[in-house]
C-alpha cells in the first residue's frame, strides 16, 4: 500500500479512482497555456444554451468563438496567456462584454455572464476592474507576472531567483552563496526547496517541456528575462497533469502580437560601486605595497535586445491577426579580478639549499635524510639531518628537480612564505538566443514553435588551496605545460532546446493538445592544461595515458602552494539529451471538464565524471622530519628527493551512455457541483525505469551474496538488478468552496501524492564500480627503514590491469571502491495536503491563509554499510560486515530517507493596478529528515554518526528555515502624464517629475541548522559528535562566538557522543534589493529608460555557519558570509 503516513487520509486515495470510474472523465489544467470557462444565464437565473461566446486576444486580435451547451456552459482551452475580452451574444438579449481579463500561465478564469433582455445592438459592459476569483481549482500556487519579471531587481538578471518570493519556498544551497550556482549550473536556477522537499524533486517546465537535468539536478534551458512572459510556482496539491514533487515551476515564454514591440539594453557593473566583504581587509606587504584589495576588480556588461510582432514579409505574406514572432538575444561579458597569496620555492630552496629556510618566527627548519632512518638502541626510530641543511645535488631526484623548476620565482617580500602574489581574472562570456513563432491555422487549429540556444564560457581560478600560479616562460619552453601550474578551470556550457505545441478543437466538446520537445546540455569543464602531456614531460610515468588523464597531477606540497592544472576530478563532461512527447484530450461534459493524457520523457545522460583523474600525490614531512619529535622537514624537500607519502587516482576507462525512461498517464476531472462548490479529482500513474547503459557498463553490489554483479551477465538485468516499480499510483483530491455568496471568500483544501525520480549524486552512480573505473591507492609507511620498496615520483602507480572480480574472494583481493544500489528501487514520493482561505479584499488584491504539510517517502540515502565501530581493536576487526572486512571503501544507496514538513503561510498579493503591484509572503515552517541527498538543497547538518542507530539521524533538514518573509513590489510614482498628479505638467516639469518607478525585494529570514562536530572522534569514516552538557546557546551571540563550545565535550574513549543532528542554528539575515528607474518619452510609443539597481543595499553581511568543530581553538567563530556584499548596476534601455 502506497499510503502509509496518515491512515485517516487513505480515503483520499480511493475517492479519485471512484470518481474516474463512476463519473464522466474531465480535466482542464494547462501547463503552458490557460483557459477561460463560464456559464451564461438570464436575469432570472435560468441557463442560456445556444449563446455565442467570443473570446478575443486583445493584442493579437485573434478570437475563439464558442456556443454554450444545454447547460449554458462554455470553455475555451489552451489559450496563450495575455489580455482577453469576452463577448456573449444571443438574439433577444443585450450583448454582454467583459474586458481587461488577464489570463496567466496555467490559469483558469471563470467568467460567468448574465444576459438582460433587450436589443442585440445594446451592450452590457462589466468593468475591467471587477475581481476574477479562482473558484474552479484547489491548487496552491503563485504566478510571478511579467511586470515583476521585468522590473524587480535581479542579481545576474536570473528570473528563476524569483521563485524565492513564493511562500513555503527556501532558497539556494547553504555553505555556498544563496544563489545556489555551481560549476554545472552557473545560473543557479534549480536550487530551491518547496514544502520541505529536496531540490531534486523540483520540476521545471518551459512551455510545458521538461527542463530537468538528470545527473546534477540543474536546469537545461535558461530563458532570458526578456523571453519570459510569466511563470507559475505550484507548491501544493495540483492537477494530475503535473508530476514530480511539490515545487513545479511552469514557465511561459513570450510571443509576438499585432503591434511591433522591442527593447535594447545594457547593464553595467564594476567594482567602483561594490562594497567589501565583511571579513576581507586590505593586505599590505612589508614594503607597503598592496597585496590584496578588499574589493576585487570587476567589469561586467549584460546586454541584448528583443523584438516581437506580426510576421510580415512585404509583398509575400501578411501575418497580422494570424502569425506572430518573437526573438531575443542576451549576452554577458565579465572580468573579475582575483588576488591569491601563495608560497613558492626561493632560488635556494628549489635547488635543495635549506640552509636559511626559517619559519615565520625565524627558527631554522631542519631537513632530515630519510636514508638514515634506523632504530636506535632504545628501540626508537631516528634519522640524521642533512649536513648544513642542504640536500646534495646527487641526491636530488631528476623528476623532483623538474617539479621544483616549474614554480614561478617569488615576486614579493624576501621570506620563505607568502612570497608570490597572483592576480588572475575570472572571465565569463555568455550568449543566449531564442525564437518563437505562433500561427493560427484556422479558428480551430493553432500551434507555436520555440527554440533556445545558449553558450556559456567561464575561465576561473578554482577555489582551492592549489591556486593560480602562472607557468614561467622557461618552464613552458622546456615542458609540455598549460598556462597555469596551479589551479585554473575552464568551463563551456552549451544548451539548446525546442518546443512544438499544437492544439485543435475537434468538436464542441473535445479539444486536443499535442506537445513535443527536447532539451540538451553539454557542460565540459577542464583543467587549464587539458590536452598537454604535462606529467609525462616532467618524467612522471603512467599518468597521461589518454586525453582524459592529460595534464599535471595534483601535487600537494606541505608548506607550499601545490602544483595542479586544476581540480583533481577534471575533466568532466556530464552531458544529457532528452526528448518529450505528450498528448492530452479535453472532454467537456455538462458540469465536468475532463483532461486525460499520456507523456513520455526519454533521457540519455552521459555522466562522465571522475574522482582523481590525473591522480592526487601528497608530499608531506614524515620522510624528512625528526621522527622522534615530529618536527622539522618540509614538503619541498620530499619533492626534491622524489619521496611522496601517498597517491591515489580514479577515473573512467570509457564514457558511459545511460538511458532513463519516464512515462506517465493521467486523468483529471474538475466537477463544478454548483456555483459555489468545485471538486478537483485526479489520478496519475507513472513508471520510472532505472538507468541502463548501452553497453551494459554497470555493476552493482549484491549485499546477500557479497559480490559484484554485472549488467547483462549471469542473469543480471540490464539495470544491474534494480527493479522497475509498477505501483506508482498518485491520487489527487481537492475541494473549492465559496463561503460567501459574492464569491470573494474561498475555502480550499486538498490531498495528493506525487512521485518523482530520485537520482543519485553523480559520484554514486553504479557505473563507477570496477572494471569500468580504475581506482588505485598507494600508501607508504610513515617511517620505513628500507626505502628500496618505496615508490618514487617517476613511477608512482603500478601498472593498470583492469579487473572484473566475480567472487567475494576476488573482490577482497582487489579492494576497490564498491557501490551498491538497493534492488527494490522504491520510487520516491510525497504526500501533500493543505487547507486555506482566500479572500479578495479589493478588485485586484487578495489575501491567502494556508496550512500546508507534506511527507517525503523512499528518499535516497547513501552511507557506508561497512563502517568501523568504536574500540581499541584493529580497524578490520571492528567493521560491521566481517565477511568483507577488508573492503574499506563501500557505499550503499537505498530509499531509507524520510521527511516531514508543516507550515503556516500568509500571502498578500496586489496585481498591477493604478501603478502598484506587490507580493508579501510569510512562512512559518519546520522541515525534518534523516539526511541530505544529491542536490538536496544544501545544509550544514550532515549525516549521522553510525548506521547502527539511524534513529539518531533524524533532525532538521539542512534547508530548514523557521521564519521567512519576502516582500516584493513595483510602484510607479504617481507623478506625470497618466498618473494621479501633474498629469498636465509642461515639458520641463513633465520630464523631471514623470516616469519614475521604484521596485524592490526585501527578505527577512532566520538561519539554518548546523551540527556540532568533534575534532578527534571515533574515526569510523562518519561524522563524530561530542557529548552535549549544555544547550550550547548564548544569550548574546556574536560573530566571534556564535555558540558556547564549553557546553560540549569529548565523549569517553571509544564511544559515540550524545549530541544531535542540526541542534543549533546559524544567524538569519535581512536583505534589501532595490531598483529606481526613470523613463523619458521618445517618439510615438518609444521611451528611454535609465535604471539603477542595488543588491544588498545596506550591506548587511548575511553571516554563514560558525566553526562547529569542538577541539578547534576557533570553534564558534564565523568567518564567512552567504550573501553577497553590496553591489550596484546601472542600465540603459530603449523600449519601442
Q: Quick one: pLDDT band at residue 522, thresholds 50, 70, 90?
A: very high
Q: Residue 1053 has what pLDDT?
A: 85
Indicate the domain borders of the chain: 30-126
The pLDDT assigned to 105 comes to 80
State the DSSP string of 441-466.
Answer: EETTEEEEEEEEEEEEEEEEE-SSSS
Phi, psi of 953 (to 5 degrees): -75, -20
Residues contacting residue 242 through CB under 8 Å, at least 6 positions apart: 29, 31, 203, 234, 248, 250, 754
Q: What is the pLDDT of residues 11-33, one digit of tens each?
A: 233 333 323 333 333 334 456 78
- 90 vs 1073: CA distance, rounded Å: 53
- Return the exposure string of 320-350: e unless at least 16 CB atoms fall within 10 Å of the residue's CB, then b: bebbbbbbbbbbbebbbebbbbbbbbbeebb
pLDDT band at residue 279 under the 50/70/90 scheme: confident
pLDDT for the residue numbered 10:
32
Residue 675's pLDDT band (cuts 50, 70, 90): confident
- CB count in 10 Å sphere of residue 629: 7
Dihedral sign for Cα atoms in the order 59, 65, 66, 72: positive
- The confidence band for 348, taking pLDDT boundaries of 50, 70 and 90, is very high
Residue 382 confidence (pLDDT): 93
Q: What is the pLDDT of residue 934?
A: 41
Residue 283: the pLDDT is 63
Model pLDDT for residues 544-596, shown as the tens digit of each residue = 998 889 999 999 999 999 998 888 888 988 899 999 999 999 998 888 989 99
pLDDT surpasses 50 at 434:
yes
| 617-663: pLDDT as tens digits | 999 999 999 999 999 999 999 999 999 999 998 888 888 999 999 99
Q: For the stretch 101-110, what's the b/e string if a residue is b when 16 or more beta carbons lie within 10 angstroms of its beta carbon?
A: bbbbbbbbbb
Residues 366-410: pLDDT tens digits? 999 999 999 998 989 999 999 999 999 999 999 999 999 999 999
Other residues' Cβ atoms within 10 Å of the Cβ of residue 723 = 14
- CATH classification code of 30-126: 2.60.40.1120
Q: What is the mean pLDDT of residues 1049-1066?
A: 91
Global pTM value: 0.87
Length of the chain: 1136
- Is the pLDDT at 926 greater than 90? The verdict is yes
**Contact between 317 and 331 (Cβ < 8 Å):** no
State the distance between the two ends of the chain, measured CA to CA, in whole angstroms: 59
Tracing cell 538566443 back to the chain, one arrives at 433
Q: What is the spatial distance between Cα 200 and Cα 202, in angstroms, rounded to a whole number?
A: 6
| 408 upstream amide cis, omega within 30 of 0 | no
In the prediction, which pLDDT does 82 show?
86
Write down the pLDDT at residue 892: 92
Which pLDDT score, from 0 to 100, does residue 873 have?
Answer: 84
Amino acid at each position: 500500500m502506497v499510503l502509509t503516513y496518515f491512515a485517516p487520509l487513505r480515503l483520499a486515495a480511493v475517492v479519485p479512482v471512484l470518481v474516474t470510474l463512476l463519473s464522466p472523465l474531465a480535466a482542464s489544467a494547462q501547463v503552458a497555456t490557460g483557459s477561460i470557462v463560464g456559464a451564461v444565464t438570464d436575469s432570472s437565473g435560468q441557463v442560456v444554451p445556444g449563446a455565442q461566446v467570443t473570446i478575443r486576444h486583445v493584442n493579437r486580435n485573434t478570437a475563439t468563438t464558442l456556443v454554450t451547451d444545454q447547460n449554458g456552459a462554455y470553455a475555451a482551452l489552451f489559450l496563450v496567456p495575455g489580455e482577453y475580452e469576452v463577448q456573449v451574444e444571443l438574439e433577444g438579449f443585450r450583448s454582454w462584454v467583459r474586458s481587461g481579463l488577464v489570463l496567466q500561465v496555467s490559469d483558469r478564469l471563470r467568467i460567468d455572464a448574465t444576459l438582460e433582455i433587450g436589443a442585440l445592438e445594446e451592450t452590457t459592459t462589466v468593468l475591467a476592474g471587477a475581481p476574477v476569483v479562482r473558484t474552479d481549482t484547489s491548487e496552491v500556487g503563485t504566478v510571478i507576472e511579467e511586470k515583476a519579471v521585468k522590473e524587480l531587481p535581479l542579481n545576474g538578471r536570473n528570473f528563476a531567483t524569483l521563485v524565492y518570493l513564493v511562500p513555503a519556498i527556501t532558497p539556494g544551497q547553504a555553505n555556498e552563496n544563496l544563489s545556489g550556482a555551481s560549476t554545472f549550473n552557473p545560473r543557479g536556477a534549480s536550487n530551491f526547496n518547496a514544502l520541505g522537499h529536496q531540490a531534486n524533486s523540483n520540476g521545471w517546465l518551459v512551455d510545458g517541456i521538461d527542463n530537468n537535468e538528470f545527473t546534477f539536478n540543474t536546469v537545461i534551458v535558461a530563458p532570458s528575462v526578456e523571453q519570459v512572459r510569466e511563470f507559475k510556482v505550484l507548491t501544493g496539491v495540483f492537477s494530475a497533469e503535473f508530476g514530480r514533487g511539490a515545487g513545479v515551476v511552469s514557465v511561459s515564454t513570450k510571443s509576438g502580437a499585432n503591434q511591433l514591440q522591442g527593447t535594447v539594453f545594457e547593464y553595467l557593473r564594476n567594482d567602483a560601486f561594490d562594497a567589501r566583504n565583511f571579513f576581507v581587509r586590505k593586505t599590505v606587504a612589508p614594503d607597503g605595497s598592496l597585496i590584496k584589495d578588499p574589493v576585487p576588480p570587476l567589469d561586467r556588461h549584460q546586454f541584448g535586445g528583443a523584438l516581437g510582432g506580426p510576421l510580415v514579409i512585404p509583398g509575400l505574406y501578411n501575418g497580422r491577426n494570424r502569425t506572430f514572432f518573437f526573438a531575443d538575444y542576451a549576452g554577458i561579458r565579465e572580468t573579475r579580478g582575483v588576488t591569491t597569496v601563495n608560497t613558492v620555492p626561493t632560488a635556494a630552496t628549489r635547488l635543495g639549499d635549506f640552509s636559511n629556510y626559517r619559519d615565520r618566527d625565524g627558527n631554522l627548519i631542519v631537513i632530515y635524510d630519510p636514508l638514515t632512518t634506523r632504530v636506535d638502541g632504545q628501540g626508537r626510530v631516528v634519522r640524521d639531518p642533512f649536513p648544513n641543511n642542504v640536500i646534495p645535488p646527487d641526491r636530488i631526484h631528476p623528476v623532483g628537480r623538474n617539479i621544483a623548476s616549474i614554480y614561478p620565482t617569488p615576486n614579493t617580500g624576501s621570506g620563505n612564505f607568502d612570497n608570490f602574489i597572483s592576480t588572475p581574472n575570472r572571465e565569463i562570456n555568455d550568449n543566449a538566443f531564442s525564437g518563437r513563432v505562433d500561427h493560427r491555422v484556422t479558428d480551430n487549429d493553432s500551434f507555436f514553435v520555440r527554440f533556445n540556444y545558449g553558450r556559456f564560457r567561464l575561465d576561473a581560478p578554482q577555489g582551492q588551496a592549489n591556486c593560480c600560479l602562472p607557468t614561467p616562460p622557461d618552464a613552458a619552453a622546456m615542458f609540455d605545460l598549460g598556462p597555469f601550474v596551479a589551479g585554473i578551470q575552464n568551463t563551456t556550457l552549451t544548451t539548446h532546446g525546442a518546443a512544438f505545441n499544437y492544439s485543435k478543437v475537434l468538436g464542441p466538446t473535445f479539444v486536443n493538445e499535442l506537445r513535443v520537445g527536447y532539451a540538451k546540455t553539454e557542460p565540459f569543464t577542464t583543467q587549464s592544461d587539458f590536452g598537454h602531456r604535462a606529467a609525462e614531460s616532467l618524467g612522471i610515468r603512467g599518468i597521461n595515458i589518454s586525453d582524459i588523464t592529460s595534464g599535471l597531477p595534483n601535487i600537494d606540497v606541505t608548506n607550499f602552494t601545490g602544483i595542479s592544472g586544476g581540480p583533481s576530478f577534471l575533466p568532466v563532461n556530464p552531458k544529457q539529451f532528452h526528448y518529450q512527447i505528450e498528448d492530452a484530450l479535453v472532454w467537456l461534459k455538462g458540469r465536468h471538464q475532463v483532461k486525460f493524457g499520456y507523456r513520455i520523457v526519454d533521457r540519455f545522460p552521459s555522466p562522465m565524471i571522475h574522482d582523481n583523474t590525473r591522480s592526487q600525490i601528497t608530499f608531506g614531512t614524515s620522510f624528512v622530519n625528526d621522527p622522534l619529535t615530529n618536527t622539522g622537514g618540509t614538503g619541498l624537500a620530499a619533492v626534491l628527493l622524489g619521496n611522496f607519502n601517498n597517491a591515489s587516482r580514479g577515473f573512467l576507462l570509457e564514457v558511459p551512455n545511460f538511458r532513463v525512461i519516464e512515462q506517465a498517464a493521467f486523468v483529471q476531472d474538475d466537477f463544478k457541483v454548483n456555483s459555489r462548490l468545485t471538486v478537483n479529482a485526479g489520478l496519475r500513474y507513472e513508471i520510472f525505469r532505472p538507468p541502463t547503459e548501452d553497453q551494459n557498463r554497470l555493476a552493482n553490489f549484491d549485499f546477500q551474496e557479497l559480490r559484484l554483479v554485472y549488467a547483462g551477465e549471469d542473469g543480471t538485468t540490464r539495470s544491474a538488478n534494480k527493479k522497475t516499480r509498477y505501483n506508482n499510483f498518485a491520487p489527487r483530491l481537492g475541494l473549492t468552496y465559496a463561503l460567501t455568496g459574492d464569491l470573494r471568500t474561498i475555502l480550499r483544501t486538498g490531498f495528493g501524492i506525487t512521485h518523482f525520480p530520485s537520482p543519485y549524486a553523480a559520484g554514486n552512480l553504479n557505473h563507477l564500480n570496477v572494471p569500468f573505473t580504475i581506482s588505485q591507492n598507494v600508501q607508504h609507511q610513515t617511517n620505513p627503514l628500507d626505502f628500496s620498496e618505496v615508490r618514487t615520483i617517476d613511477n608512482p602507480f603500478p601498472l593498470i590491469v583492469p579487473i572484473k572480480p566475480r567472487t567475494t574472494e576476488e573482490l577482497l583481493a582487489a579492494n576497490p571502491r564498491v557501490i551498491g544500489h538497493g534492488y527494490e528501487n522504491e520510487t520516491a514520493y510525497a504526500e501533500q495536503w493543505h487547507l486555506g482561505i482566500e479572500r479578495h479584499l479589493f478588485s485586484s488584491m487578495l489575501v491567502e491563509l494556508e496550512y500546508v504539510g507534506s511527507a517525503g517517502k523512499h528518499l535516497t540515502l547513501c552511507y557506508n554499510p561497512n563502517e568501523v565501530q568504536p574500540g581499541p581493536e584493529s580497524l578490520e576487526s571492528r567493521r560491521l560486515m566481517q565477511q568483507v572486512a577488508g573492503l574499506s571503501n563501500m557505499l550503499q544507496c537505498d530509499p531509507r530517507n524520510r521527511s516531514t514538513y508543516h507550515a503556516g503561510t500568509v500571502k498578500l498579493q496586489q496585481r498591477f493596478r493604478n501603478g502598484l503591484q506587490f507580493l508579501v509572503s510569510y512562512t512559518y515552517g519546520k522541515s525534518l529528515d534523516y539526511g541530505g541527498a544529491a542536490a538536496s538543497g544544501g545544509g550544514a547538518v550532515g549525516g549521522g554518526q553510525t548506521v547502527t542507530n539511524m534513529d539518531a539521524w533524524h533532525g532538521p533538514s539542512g534547508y530548514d528555515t523557521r521564519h521567512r518573509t519576502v516582500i516584493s513590489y513595483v510602484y510607479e510614482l504617481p507623478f506625470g502624464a497618466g498618473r494621479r498628479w501633474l498629469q498636465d505638467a509642461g515639458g520641463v516639469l513633465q520630464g523631471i517629475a514623470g516616469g519614475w518607478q521604484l521596485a524592490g525585494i526585501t527578505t527577512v529570514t532566520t538561519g539554518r541548522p548546523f551540527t556540532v562536530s568533534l575534532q578527534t572522534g571515533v574515526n569510523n569514516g562518519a561524522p563524530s559528535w561530542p557529548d552535549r552538557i549544555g544547550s550550547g546557546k548564548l544569550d548574546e551571540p556574536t560573530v566571534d562566538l556564535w555558540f558556547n563550545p564549553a557546553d560540549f565535550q569529548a565523549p569517553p574513549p571509544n564511544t559515540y557522543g550524545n549530541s544531535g543532528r542540526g541542534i543549533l542554528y546559524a544567524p538569519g539575515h535581512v536583505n534589501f534589493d532595490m531598483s529606481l528607474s526613470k523613463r523619458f518619452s521618445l517618439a510615438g510609443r518609444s521611451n528611454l529608460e535609465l535604471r539603477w539597481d542595488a543588491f544588498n543595499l545596506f550591506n548587511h553581511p548575511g553571516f554563514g555557519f560558525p566553526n562547529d568543530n569542538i577541539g578547534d581553538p576557533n570553534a564558534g567563530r564565523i568567518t564567512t558570509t552567504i550573501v553577497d556584499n553590496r553591489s550596484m548596476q546601472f542600465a540603459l534601455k530603449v523600449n519601442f
